Amino acid sequence: MESRWQSAYRTLSQMKALGVPAPVERATVDRFVIGFLANHLDRSLHQLLDELNNAGYSCPSDWRKCVYEVFDAARAVEKGPYPYEDVYAAALMMAQIPSFLYEDRSRVYRGQRCVKWPFKPNIFRGHTDFRVEQTRLTNLLSALRNEYPAYCDEQLLAIIQHYSEESKTKTWLLDVTRDPFVALFFASHHGKENDVGVVVQFTLKAWEEWSVGGSNLLGEFRFIDVPLVPRIGAQKAVFLDGAHPDLLDQYVPYEIQFCQKGGLTFEDQAASISEAHLLRIQNDPFATYLAAWNSRGHPLPTDSQPITPRRFLKEFLTGDDYLEMIVGWFQQRGPNLTSEHVCLLRKLCSFHAMLQGERVSSRTSRSLQRLKSVAEHIVIPANGQGLDITWQRVQKLILEEYSRRFFEDAATVQKVLDRLVPPT
């Protein structure tokens, strides 16, 4: 039986799909429909219908009833509990947020079935033996070079990532998508009852600033064009390459959470979002080849050099790694750092590295945002007055910032601070 949210989203999808004549741009209709839904348009329903008709949109006879059904459901979701009650409630909420409505290259999205899972490429998850997986990946890449010589290694690595289920081979790429509703499909696909699914939004401009153009341990998002590969095209795929797995969990993006309902997967047939469109594409030669490759024995060719990540990934990050990131941030934007700044920042980074091994209430409490905020207070004092800042003041800032919103973490933060030796 459909939930209220699933029924309302289905109605919304049908409203957007019906009666759109060729001269009318899709975005024009979306702006009217979603604009009314999100209460962004200061007009009555009667005015809205008139404007749609004048724009060439052929409104169904029961459109008024449909609008009110969707509008009432959307308002109920907005005022209801969080995480949202199911994946379609999340979809209705996303349909009210302008940044989720239109695809461009300024934002990308990732869906995960459980909010507790870390954001890690599959080669770094669980108890994976990196060397064993690296050998398997090298072997498959060598086979694909022979089978598909028109593709470069970067493109072949993207293919392996998107067909990992067929090949049973892992990579260090993290796949994301330009379409938030594709991410919502993957966040709910095979979701387990009572888990909390999540869709996260990465803003590429902010990522560029955080990663200093992809030069530090955060890595970079890469739009790898792989023509004629059905699954990559259908999923509108983008890849995060070179990121240290521990840092992904510390970069806390905007997110939408929802309660998983067993067997309920978000689909929108009008938008070509379904298992058949995204995963089970008919006559997909890559799925066929990679599944066959996995079923065969495949000894490693003696002339194959192990493929390695673009950047060496240390197992554990130290305070010096975080300090290198902070120095890069200030070199990019200013001001220049003094020796006193570096002394305090080094101690801050040691604290941040130590905190990663502690249990805290939320990723937010140990995030890069917290580290950057305290660093800015050290280097750029309030009101630009250039006041000297002491280690005692930095400790107070750390306690305030790292336990902000999650006061239960204050004791953990203080425990880590107590283990530090104040700088001389």
Identify the domain boundary among 62, 79, 96.
79
Indicate the helix (H) or strand (E) that contains 301: none
Cα 44 to Cα 41, 50, 71, 73: the distances in Å are 9, 10, 13, 18
CA atoms of 258 and 244, how far apart (whole Å): 27
Which of 61-70, 212-221, 285-294 has the least mean pLDDT? 61-70
Domain containing 279: what range?
107-295
Task: Please tell me the predicted confidence (pLDDT) of residue 20.
Answer: 47
Phi-psi domain of 371 (left: phi exceeds 0; alpha: psi -120 through 50; beta: other): alpha
Identify the domain boundary among 59, 79, 99.
79
**What's the pLDDT band for 4 if we cut at 50, 70, 90?**
very high
* Residue 41 counted as domain residue: yes
Q: Identify whether residues 290 and 326 lie together within a single domain.
A: no
Do the beta carbons of residue 92 and residue 8 sit within 8 Å? Answer: yes
| Predicted confidence (pLDDT) per residue in 143-184, tens digit | 999 999 999 999 999 999 999 999 999 999 989 999 999 999
Cα 250 to Cα 40, 140, 329, 342: the distances in Å are 34, 32, 16, 22
* Residue 99 counted as domain residue: no
CA atoms of 415 and 78, how far apart (whole Å): 39
Q: Identify whether residues 128 and 32 lie together within a single domain.
A: no
Q: Identify whether residues 219 and 281 lie together within a single domain.
A: yes
* Residue 219 counted as domain residue: yes
* Residue 151 counted as domain residue: yes
The pTM assigned to this predicted structure is 0.84
Q: Identify whether residues 53 and 121 lie together within a single domain.
A: no
Which of 66-70, 279-283, 285-289 has the least mean pLDDT? 66-70
Q: Identify whether residues 133 and 274 lie together within a single domain.
A: yes
Q: Identify whether residues 74 and 137 lie together within a single domain.
A: no
| Predicted confidence (pLDDT) per residue in 328-375, tens digit | 999 988 888 999 999 999 999 999 999 998 888 778 888 999 999 999
* Residue 138 counted as domain residue: yes
Max mean pLDDT among 15-19, 48-52, 91-95, 319-323 falls in: 319-323
Do the beta carbons of residue 241 and residue 149 sit within 8 Å? Answer: no
Indicate the helix (H) or strand (E) that contains 259: strand 254-259
Q: Identify whether residues 111 and 64 lie together within a single domain.
A: no
* Residue 272 counted as domain residue: yes
| Predicted confidence (pLDDT) per residue in 21-66, tens digit | 444 444 555 555 555 554 444 455 566 667 667 766 666 666 667 7
Task: Please tell me the predicted confidence (pLDDT) of residue 145.
Answer: 94
CA atoms of 239 and 108, how far apart (whole Å): 10
Q: Identify whether residues 154 and 228 lie together within a single domain.
A: yes
Cα 215 to Cα 218, 322, 398: the distances in Å are 8, 13, 27
Of residues 34 and 226, more confidence is placed in 226
Q: Identify whether residues 340 and 399 lie together within a single domain.
A: yes
* Residue 407 counted as domain residue: yes
* Residue 145 counted as domain residue: yes
Q: Identify whether residues 184 and 259 lie together within a single domain.
A: yes
Q: Identify whether residues 39 and 168 lie together within a single domain.
A: no
- Provide the residue type at 12 as one letter: L
Q: Count how many domains the chain has.
A: 3
Q: Identify whether residues 288 and 327 lie together within a single domain.
A: no
